[in-house]
Amino acid sequence: MESTFTDRFPVRIYWEDTDAGGIVYHANYLKYMERARSELLARLEVSQQDERQRPDGVLFVVVAVDLRYHRAAVLGDDLTVVTTVSKLRHASLEFEQNIFRGDERITTGHVRVACVSAATMRPTVIPDTIYARVSELLSTDSN
């Protein structure tokens, strides 16, 4: 299933985010993308803290990332992470995530996450309730 569902998440750049080059340290953009995906799950009423503590809980772990850095963000910048769920599969999800400063695109990421058992960390299918919510969200917003 593919869609054009999008979600917007704000990030402000603090000292912790920057490096001695005066710009945001390149690995940190992965954090902002993860925050945005976590907010999306929260909006779908998936509590990752509950999931990681339940015997039959599931987590989503990153299995592949493709990042392009277009421009550098700096201290004090207000960024927006724009997230599209690009693919929903039985045991994995794919996201396209673009980070903007106003109209300027700073970073583009394609991120694939796999569903794993919280107890064993082994791959498993996405539970029906979560699958249905993502699916519904996609069909609703893709118009």
- Residues in the site for a copy of itself, rule: CB under 8 A? 12, 14-16, 18-23, 25-28, 30-31, 34-35, 38, 42, 47-49, 52, 59, 61-69, 72, 74-76, 118, 121
Residue 48 or 135 having the CB closest to a copy of itself? 48
The least CB distance from residue 109 to a copy of itself, in Å, is: 9
Residue 38, C-beta contacts closer than 8 angstroms, at least 6 positions apart: 48
Residue 20 or 90 having the CB closest to a copy of itself? 20
Residue 30 or 135 having the CB closest to a copy of itself? 30
The least CB distance from residue 128 to a copy of itself, in Å, is: 22
The least CB distance from residue 110 to a copy of itself, in Å, is: 9
Burial 56-91 (b: 16+ CB within 10 A, else e): ebbbbeeeeeeeeeeeebeeebebbbbbbbbebeee
Residue 26, C-beta contacts closer than 8 angstroms, at least 6 positions apart: 69
Task: Give me 113's structure tokens.
Answer: 């996450």
Q: Choose, from 7, 17, 19, 141, the residue flagged as catalytic.
A: 19
Residue 18, C-beta contacts closer than 8 angstroms, at least 6 positions apart: 24, 25, 74, 75
Instruction: Could you list the beta-strand ranges (E) of 49-101.
Output: 58-69, 78-88, 92-101
The least CB distance from residue 117 to a copy of itself, in Å, is: 11
Active site residue 103: no
Residue 76 or 136 having the CB closest to a copy of itself? 76
Residues identified as active-site: 19
